[in-house]
Amino acid sequence: MRSRESRPADFLPLTPAVLHILLALADGEQHGYAIAQAIEAVTDGTVRMGPGTLYGSIGRMVAGGLIEESTRPRGRGDDDERRRFYRMTALGRRVLESETERLSRVVALARAKNVIRRPEPA
Amino acid sequence: MRGVKHVFELILRLYPSDFRRQYGDEMRAFVQGRLGEPRYASPWGAFGLVCHLLVDGVAGAVREHLVHFAASRSTSGTIPRRRPRISNNEPPEELMATLVHDARYAVRTLRRRPAFTIVAAITLALGIGATSAIFGVIDTMLFRPLRYPAPEQIVVVNMTRGGSLREPPAYPDFLDWREQSRSFQSLGVTRSQSLNLTGRETPERLSGNFVSASLLTLLGAEPLAGRLFTFAETEVGTAAPVAVISEGLWRRRFGAEPTIVGSTMVLNGQQFTVVGIVPSTFSFFSGTDVYLPITYYPNNAGLTRKDHSMFVVGRLRPNVTLASADAEMRAIGARLAEQFPAENVGSGAHVESLHTLLVGDVRAPLYIVMGAVTLLLLIACANVANLQLSHAIARRREMSVRSALGAGRGRLARQLLTESVILSALGGLLGVAVAYAFVALLISIIPIDLTFFSPIRVDGRVMAFAALVSILTGIVFGLAPAIHASRTNLNDALSTRTGGLSARVRGIEMRGVFVVAQLALSIVLLVGAGLLTRTLVKLQQVDLGFDTSNLLTMEFRLPATKYSQPQQISDFFTRAIAEIRAVPGVRSAALVRAVPLSGNSDARAYAVAGAPEPEKGQAPILQLNTVSPGYFKTIGLALVTGRDVNEHDDANAPLVAVVNETFARREWPNASAIGQRIRFVDSDRWVTVVGVARDAKHFGPADLPTPQAYIPFMQMPQIFTSVVVRANRDAIALGPLVREAIWRVDRDQPVWKIRTMDSLVANTLGSKRVLLALVGVFASVALLLAGVGIFGVMSFAVAQRTHEVGVRMALGASGGEVLRLIVGQGLRLTVIALLLGLAAAAGATQLMASQLFGVTPSDPVTFATVPIVLCAVAALACYLPARRASRLDPLTALRRE
């Protein structure tokens, strides 16, 4: 109910954990362990999430309407029965967009102030 | 791998159950996945994973609890629920508030009213500190092992005789026990007696213990220097003149001179070689200076079967129980009774643990003090609760506003409870300081030899106890105000300026309950203190039979080696008494073997001429004392008939005795005692009764009438004796002069225990006095707190009823009627408290019966006096606010609402 009324700006700024989870789910639905592995892969192992952090964040993201539980995708029946899959909601996608926009503005500002010496590809 | 899962199961339990239900299985699957990764395969890797899971899990669990807490708190609220913040680093600010904010707010509130905080904290500190200190003493004495190695194996073996289980055995009994028993690793024997140290600048009396070698070793003594006794050195036939001295004596008297081991010292006129020093951490009987072989124990009777004065200590074999050792010793005792009918008939042997023997008499007083101090703590709690409650009522507007702004009932209650717990924690901190002081005080006033026990101190256990009591205290006194606040009715509270009637009445009612509880608890304490006071008064009123004022006593003993002949002994005393009588200020002086109330005594079995010879072991026992001429006059003990012993009753004259009235009445109820003859069963000489004296209490005021006999000193000279001196005034000032007089006869003669009879009387009341002092102080504080409590409630009630009083007075009620109304209200509370308190006291005082003398636990005088005292205090406490009400100007009062 409330999530439908929510504006993406209400959720900003995102914590690193939430941001990473949303980014991981941008490729499609995943279960928790796969999310953690994906995050670790894209950050070269610098962000290693434990179950407490991961599921704590997932719990709040579900409650906030950023992600939702999905049915088990076909062809993935070999996975552990206990695992549930999550996917991003429309709100989640908008929040992620807003956050990345906000971040790119921050990066642009930093560049303008010449704080970043070696600009990296976004 | 399985270990990691186990750890994770434990971590999962930290989470709220809702969360666990929702995500537990997934989290397990997550860990399962991690475990499949190659980097965690090695043991080192697994350890790293466990660390990671622990840090992550604990932090996560705390976060989820905070979220859970906030969610449950705000579900019923009328304020719109805020959307959960998508964040895991920073919990919502409301969550912070419930924990830190409450505490901060509480501290701020307490700081805003420093007077209340200080009074409450000190009240609680006294209660918590005193309770913790007594707990420390009880814990050490009753529940901790004695300070010897494997203390549970240490037992005491005593003789049983005629119903008594604790009769001292004789040395040959000890030898038989040691030889025949199988239950003990070792049996040791000891006999305490003072020693004369001479051959140095000033003669000195030392505290001595005559022991068998086994006694020191079985108690785990380790020499600081030199060695302890060998077995042979303390046995008859192979004894050697060797001594072991205490570290205390070594430092005090010999300046910690290392060459003391191997040197000689003259004790009781005989040379002993010091072979070792025992450290001050070892002590059996406090203050022992010197240990000597038991074989040197200097007694007239020697180490015979007649001298029943030994203390036998044993160490049980590891697998032997107390019961089986006792059974074995009973059998041995029975055998010895048959074997030695002359001395042992009717006797047996009994084994009990040393700990039982030591704490047997102190258990009841300790529990009484603990009970009293707990009552006091409860009263203190009630007092602080009352203060809190009145404050809570005054804060109703604040509470109402906070409630209107969305604070739930639970939240307000928690706020007040937080305040209470912080207050009690403050009290607990101060209480630890109080406990330190109180423990020191208790150690100095407890009339018990504490050297057997672990040192009594404020240690971790006492601290833990104090912490526990603080928290419980905070909850006990914080709960009522918290509940009260949570019942605050929003509309009711905001509708009028000073708060609605119903809530106000509820507050007063609740405070009334506290006042009743306080008063009732005070009554229990007051009754206890009253009974102990009456006991002490009764004990002091007991007619001891003699005049205790201005009487000086002192003890000394002649070295047996120097005074070996009876004639030498009597010559010394004749000259000494003459010198003492010549001292200015001395009215009279005499010798006596055992000064009344000094603890010394002698008892003999006797037979009466003309009566049938008693069976062996069945002969009646009398208290025997040897006295010099003038003894009765000196201590003021009246002779009823006949004459005093005199100078002509010497070694060459026929044996004579003075007996007491109880003796005369028991043996010759229908005839005069004068001229009758008695005989001690260990002698065949007859003694003629020449006088009858009044009964004199010998051990203390609680003595039952006992047959007593006095025989002339010259007819039984003893090296160990005392002098009693009647002074014209200020007896204790004569002490040094009397000692000088004795030294004029023999320069080498130590004199000790120079005491007045008044101090001996005080000593016999010692433990009762301590008990009364403690309970009395607690009761006084309780009464004070209860008085303050009822005063507070009545003042508050008067303030709340100002309007009503105004109406009544406007309608014509007089000041006196208003006074009666208010005081009557307070006294109603008092009467309820009296009924409850007296009923509780009637039950509680039954537990004190063993500590009372001359009064029953339901003593009518005490039970009648306490209500009067309490009513007086309550009436005063009600009168002051009532008078204020009665002087109100009706117009002002009416305008106030």
Chain A touched by B68 (CB under 8 Å): no
Q: Name the A residues in 37-66 with CB < 8 Å from any B CB.
A: 37, 48-61, 63-64, 66
Contact list in A for residue B52 (CB cut-off 8 A) is 48, 50
CA dihedral A77, A78, A83, A86 (to 10 degrees): -50
Contact A17 B88 (CB under 8 A): yes
- For B712-746, the pLDDT digits (tens) are 988 887 777 888 999 888 888 888 888 888 888 88
Q: Is the pLDDT of residue B324 over 90?
A: yes
Tokens found for residue B151: 């203390």
- For B38-94, the pLDDT digits (tens) are 888 887 788 788 878 877 887 787 778 777 766 665 544 333 334 444 444 444 455
Element (H, E) at B243: strand B242-246
Contact list in B for residue A57 (CB cut-off 8 A) is 86, 88
More confident residue, A11 or B593: B593
User: What per-residue confidence (pLDDT) applies to A122?
Assistant: 44
User: What per-residue confidence (pLDDT) applies to B87?
Assistant: 42
Nearest CA to CA, how far is A52 from chain B (Å)? 5
Contact list in A for residue B19 (CB cut-off 8 A) is 55, 59
Residue ranges and CATH numbers for the domains of chain A are 2-112 (1.10.10.10)
Contact B56 A50 (CB under 8 A): yes
| Closest residue in chain A to residue B58, using alpha carbons only | A52
Q: Give B242's pLDDT tier (boundaries 50, 70, 90).
A: very high
Do B378 and B469 form a contact (C-beta atoms < 8 A)?
A: no
The per-residue pLDDT of chain B, averaged, comes to 82
User: What per-residue confidence (pLDDT) applies to B97?
Assistant: 52
Contact B88 A55 (CB under 8 A): no
Mean pLDDT of B753-761: 84
Span of A34-38, B658-662, B712-716 with lowest mean pLDDT: B712-716
Q: Is the pLDDT of residue B3 over 80?
A: no
User: What per-residue confidence (pLDDT) applies to B692?
Assistant: 93
Mean pLDDT of A40-56: 86
User: What per-residue confidence (pLDDT) applies to A74?
Assistant: 60
User: What per-residue confidence (pLDDT) applies to B82?
Assistant: 41
Mean pLDDT of B565-582: 85
Contact A33 B34 (CB under 8 A): yes
Chain A touched by B55 (CB under 8 Å): yes
Chain B touched by A117 (CB under 8 Å): no
Nearest CA to CA, how far is A49 from chain B (Å)? 8
- For B449-486, the pLDDT digits (tens) are 777 888 888 888 888 888 888 888 888 777 777 776 66
Contact list in A for residue B32 (CB cut-off 8 A) is 80
Chain B touched by A119 (CB under 8 Å): no
CA dihedral B464, B466, B467, B473 (to 10 degrees): 140
Q: Where are chain B's structural domains?
A: 2-91, 95-149+361-499, 163-345, 503-544+760-897, 563-747
Of B199, B215, B191, B207, which Cα lies nearest the Cα of B299? B191
Q: Who contacts A53 (Cβ-Cβ below 8 Å, separation ≥6)?
A: A17, B56, B59, B60, B88
Contact B30 A84 (CB under 8 A): no
User: What per-residue confidence (pLDDT) applies to B617?
Assistant: 64
User: What per-residue confidence (pLDDT) applies to B156?
Assistant: 93
Mean pLDDT of B322-349: 89
Contact B61 A61 (CB under 8 A): no
Contact A52 B83 (CB under 8 A): no
HSE (side-chain half, CA atoms, 13 Å) at B716: 22
Contact list in A for residue B87 (CB cut-off 8 A) is 15, 18, 60
Q: Who contacts B101 (Cβ-Cβ below 8 Å, separation ≥6)?
A: none
Between CA B629 and CA B378 the distance in angstroms is 60
Contact B60 A15 (CB under 8 A): no
Chain A touched by B450 (CB under 8 Å): no
Chain A touched by B7 (CB under 8 Å): no
Cis peptide leading into B705, omega within 30 of 0?
no
Chain B touched by A30 (CB under 8 Å): no
User: What per-residue confidence (pLDDT) applies to B442?
Assistant: 84
- For B531-552, the pLDDT digits (tens) are 888 888 888 888 888 888 889 9
Mean pLDDT of B436-446: 84
Who among A2, A56, A80 is closest to B60 (CB)?
A: A56
Q: Who contacts B552 (Cβ-Cβ below 8 Å, separation ≥6)?
A: B724, B725, B726, B727, B731, B732, B734, B735, B738, B754, B755, B756, B757
